[in-house]
Structure 1
Amino acid sequence: METRILVLGGTAQARRLAEQLTELGVSVVSSLAGRVRDPKLPAGEVRVGGFGGAQGLGEYLSREGITAVVDATHPFAAGISANAVVAARERGVELLVLRRPPWSPGPEDDWRSVRSLAEAAGTVRRLGSRVLLTTGRQGLHHFAGIDHVWFLVRTVDAPEPPLPPHTTTLSARGPFDADAERELLRNNDIDLLVSKNSGGTMTEGKLVAARDLGVPVVMVEQPPPPRAPVVSGVEEALEWLRRRIGPFTRDNAGG
């Protein structure tokens, strides 16, 4: 039977996993949510868009003969992660979560950890006057009612209203290095950074810059991972897949 793996993707780790599986001759399908207009496409087959909840995802797994699912979505993509748990369990398909570890503050960091964007907005009301907001396009409405703060909102694609009344938007895609981030903070007189705790290295430069310049950070912490096996790296994911579904030979990989 052909090994066929569905990677719920959109992250750099998901792309690396799809590339390595493809090089091994494994049939891999990467699923992207479609929220970014011009996404970086991984190797192998790609599908874009939702499945229609847990039921729709389960039907897809059966129809496409999926052997295993790797949830390598953004740590804050809680909806699709929850659907994957239900669909995999109901269809008897192996499920692995590939989630990079969250960032941790060092002794020189000034972090205010919060559990949600709504809580982050409340913290901004008390602390900020010129804020770099890097939490993505989703959830910006939580900040829309803050009228005494200037925001520099950085997203991959231009955000849609509602936005705070005093907002400048910046469309940019990582990786962002620390030197460029320091310049951005200085040039815009940023006195508060708001970020999701996404982990990884692509956007970590802003935290280094904030630490160096003494800029406080409002950090939205990750939700708990779904109830499934979790690994933090691509090599760990490959090893787990080998243990659970067997070696990637040309016979069962379809190559």
Structure 2
Amino acid sequence: MPGTERGGRLLILGGTGEARELAAGAVDDGMDVVSSLAGRVQRPRLPVGEVRIGGFGGVDGLADYVRAERISCVVDATHPFAATMTRHAVAACAASSTPLLRLRRPPWSPSAGDDWFRLPDMAAAADYVATRRGRVFLTTGRQDVGVFAGVTDAWFLIRVVDPPSALLPPNAEILSARGPYRHDDEAALMTAHRITTLVTKNSGGALTRAKLDAARELGIEVVMVERPVEPAGLVAVDDAASALAWVRTVIRR
């Protein structure tokens, strides 16, 4: 039954490794956990506990779900670039008077020897790549591929989990793969394809960090798209252990 006294009812807006780690810890704690996935990946890695897949229908739909399911608290553990979901979570939790925590992994920072060119969004990255030409390793996910469709003077190796549905750049090869990725494999891949520019989002985390280390080792420039700005005033932590501690405090209170 939703909202049992034994452990409370936690809604995790997930899809990330941190979300799965939090779900496992909360279930071990005896909590009633629901993890919500957007459904954008065909074969997602599923967390333990109850899972729902698909959108809520905007802010009102999420607020209604929280009320109907008697959710004790919400942890937004979505991807750092899932800006719309984060805004919806803030508004829905405010409307339903539900405690909200943002679980976001720390961003990557350049190390000595890195050649990073930081840009605010994907459109700026596409404009920059168009001026550089060369051979591009595009690792921003399938939803952003279409932004680069008009870049005609560069060759792209596009790595995605699921095939992109958007229009592709005219000179492109699709590589279907899922992390984690090993440093040696990343270096070999970029060497074999004679990559001159790596384009990525500042997602953070260890799962896909190896490409940055390999790029530094090979002297490849990195176009780093920075994270979108999140709503002000969010209570946030950067690891699952801290999120679980917060959930315990809220539910026990």
- Normalized against structure 2, the TM-score is what? 0.96
Q: 2:245 aligns with which of 207, 230, 239?
A: 239
Equivalent in the alignment of 2:218: 213
Is 1:229 the equivalent of 2:235? yes
Equivalent in the alignment of 2:104: 99
- Output the CA distance in 2 between the equivalents of 1:13 and 1:234: 6
User: How well do the aligned residues superpose, as a CA RMSD in angstroms?
Assistant: 1.0
The structural deviation recorded for 1:225 is 2.9
Is 1:88 the equivalent of 2:88? no
- Output the CA distance in 2 between the equivalents of 1:39 and 1:54: 24
- Output the CA distance in 2 between the equivalents of 1:148 and 1:128: 5
- Normalized against structure 1, the TM-score is what? 0.95
| Residue type of the alignment partner of 2:243 | A
The residue correspondences of 1:192-207 to structure 2 (distance < 5 A) are 192-207=197-212
Q: Check conservation: 1:71, 1:97, Cα contact below 8 A.
A: yes
Equivalent in the alignment of 1:252: none
- Output the CA distance in 2 between the equivalents of 1:114 and 1:95: 30
SS state of the match for residue 138, structure 1?
A: helix
Equivalent in the alignment of 1:253: none
The residue correspondences of 1:98-247 to structure 2 (distance < 5 A) are 98-227=103-232, 228-246=234-252
SS state of the match for residue 148, structure 1?
A: coil
Equivalent in the alignment of 2:58: 53
Alpha-carbon spacing, 1:14–1:192, altered in 2? closer, same or farther (3 Å): same
- Output the CA distance in 1 between the equivalents of 2:60 and 2:152: 42
The structural deviation recorded for 1:244 is 2.4
| Residue type of the alignment partner of 1:87 | A
SS state of the match for residue 139, structure 1?
A: helix
Equivalent in the alignment of 1:250: none
| Residue type of the alignment partner of 1:112 | F
Tell me which stretches of 4 or more aligned residues in structure 1 moved more than 3 Å: none
Report the more deviating stretch, 132-141 or 211-220: 132-141
Q: Check conservation: 2:136, 2:157, Cα contact below 8 A.
A: yes
The structural deviation recorded for 1:139 is 2.1
What are the Cα deviations for residues 158-206 of structure 1, in whole angstroms up to 9, with x where unaligned?
1123110001000100000111100000000000000000000000000
Gaps of 5+ in 2: none
Q: Check conservation: 1:11, 1:74, Cα contact below 8 A.
A: yes
Q: Check conservation: 2:143, 2:166, Cα contact below 8 A.
A: no
What are the Cα deviations for residues 118-165 of structure 1, in whole angstroms up to 9, with x where unaligned?
000011112241000000011222100111111000010011231100
SS state of the match for residue 162, structure 1?
A: coil
Equivalent in the alignment of 1:40: 45
Q: Check conservation: 2:201, 2:227, Cα contact below 8 A.
A: yes
SS state of the match for residue 207, structure 1?
A: helix
| Residue type of the alignment partner of 1:110 | D
